Amino acid sequence: MEEFEALVRRHQGELRVHCYRMLGSLDEAEDLVQETFLRAWRNIDRFEGRSSPRAWLYRIATNACLDALDGRSRRALPYDPSLPADVRWLQPFPDRLLEPTQPEAVAVDRETIELAFLAAIQHLPPRQRAALILCDVLGWPAKEAAAALDGSAASVNSALQRARATLRDHLPARRQDWTPSPAPTADERAALRRYMSAVEHADVAAVAELLAREVRAAMPPYPLWMRGRAAVVEALSESWDPRTPHYVGRFRMIPTGANRQPAAAAYTRRSGDFLPFAITVLRVEDGRIAEMTAFHDAALFPAFGVPMKILAPDRLNLVDTGSRDGG
């Protein structure tokens, strides 16, 4: 039992990332990791050692994901022009859960975890998606991937060819000459700081200076998105103006990281304390924000290690006074 628990601790993080890539959902990835270990425990007597424990767990996780994907529609972002009627949205993945917890663990490449990649591989049928992740992301040989998928090396190579062709059609053109970095760059972090300051001050002009001309903005689960600086600025002007019916309140921002991209946890307040509003993930190109996706789901906040409430300034003063007075 202790050996199995050690195996779980050693591989839990990387299997979570694997399931997330397969499913596009942090919540479902957590569930599928637990399902993987449950299946592994039930079948531990059948493990004959012909592969490593890690490969054995990946095989179980991959097939658990394939079972979960059977008959389901793919996940997407609002930018997708071919959204299914029963669309399920992609979720962001906290960078804090990407950091290796074991010395032998491999760091997650930004290129294979960013939102653009996740959205693109959602266009692949599940078995093609699995073959591509196992071979092109994890670097498994076709023979090993075939064993995990209960197929042949020839079938895996065929699936890979089709998957790569589909992926080229759905990845951004910039991928052709883009060298990924393991974490947000200094320019990206600077853009994030400027963005957070502008949002907290409701400074639409400052945000406009940061936006690329053809910026895209989306707010899942709302099935709408905007393209172009003018459209985004118009929407922000409406929602940040207390005189309009669409006013959302004042903001507070906490920097975080999602999918190896700059991100912030946004909180809003109209009265009382600041409450969760969205996890906003940015894509920055040449110092400007080219894409901003705000995931409006308060349930995501704990996974990012950020609070569920920020005390309003007047409440902070009361708390400080109470502390000094011993209350």
Domain count, the chain: 2
Q: How far is CA 316 from CA 129, 206, 302, in A?
A: 49, 28, 22
258 in a structural domain: yes
pLDDT in tens, 133-184: 999 999 999 999 999 999 999 999 999 999 999 998 988 776 645 555 667 8
pLDDT of residue 309: 95
pLDDT in tens, the chain (327 residues): 778 888 888 899 999 999 999 999 999 999 999 999 999 999 888 787 677 888 999 999 999 999 999 988 889 999 887 777 778 999 999 999 997 655 555 668 888 999 999 999 999 999 999 999 999 999 999 999 999 999 999 999 999 999 999 998 988 776 645 555 667 889 999 999 999 999 999 999 999 999 999 999 999 999 889 999 999 999 999 999 999 999 999 999 999 999 999 999 999 998 889 999 999 999 999 999 999 999 999 999 999 999 999 998 876 554 444 444 444
327 in a structural domain: no
Which residues, other chains included, contact 93 with Cβ-Cβ below 8 Å and sequence gap of 6+?
A: 17, 20, 26, 113, 258, 259
Q: Do 173 and 196 fall within a single domain?
A: no
pLDDT of residue 104: 54
Q: Do 214 and 307 fall within a single domain?
A: yes
Which CATH number do you get for residue 73?
1.20.140.160
Q: Do 209 and 313 fall within a single domain?
A: yes
pLDDT of residue 106: 60
79 in a structural domain: yes
Q: Where is the domain boundary, 119, 149, 177?
A: 177
pLDDT of residue 107: 67
Q: Where is the domain boundary, 157, 177, 197?
A: 177
Q: Do 161 and 21 fall within a single domain?
A: yes
218 in a structural domain: yes
pLDDT in tens, 244-273: 999 999 999 999 999 999 999 999 998 889
Q: Where is the domain boundary, 143, 177, 211?
A: 177
How many angstroms separate the CA atoms of 225 and 118, rounded?
18
DSSP at 72: P
Q: Do 120 and 219 fall within a single domain?
A: no
Q: Do 191 and 256 fall within a single domain?
A: yes
326 in a structural domain: no
**Encoding tokens for residue 84?**
């299914």
Q: Cβ atoms within 10 A of the Cβ of 287, count?
A: 13
pLDDT of residue 175: 60
Which CATH number do you get for residue 262?
3.10.450.50
pLDDT of residue 319: 47
229 in a structural domain: yes
Q: Cβ atoms within 10 A of the Cβ of 159, count?
A: 24
The continuous run of DSSP H or E covering 61 comes out as helix 53-69
Q: Do 152 and 246 fall within a single domain?
A: no
pLDDT of residue 8: 82
pTM, 2 dp = 0.90
pLDDT of residue 46: 79
pLDDT of residue 271: 87
Q: Do 197 and 313 fall within a single domain?
A: yes
Q: Do 89 and 227 fall within a single domain?
A: no
239 in a structural domain: yes
Q: Do 85 and 104 fall within a single domain?
A: yes
pLDDT in tens, 223-236: 889 999 999 999 99
Q: Are 289 and 283 in contact (CB under 8 A)?
A: yes
Q: Do 105 and 190 fall within a single domain?
A: no
Q: Do 16 and 70 fall within a single domain?
A: yes
pLDDT of residue 203: 97
Parent domain of 37: 2-177
Crossing angle of helices 26-42 and 53-69, rounded to 10°: 120
312 in a structural domain: yes
pLDDT of residue 148: 93
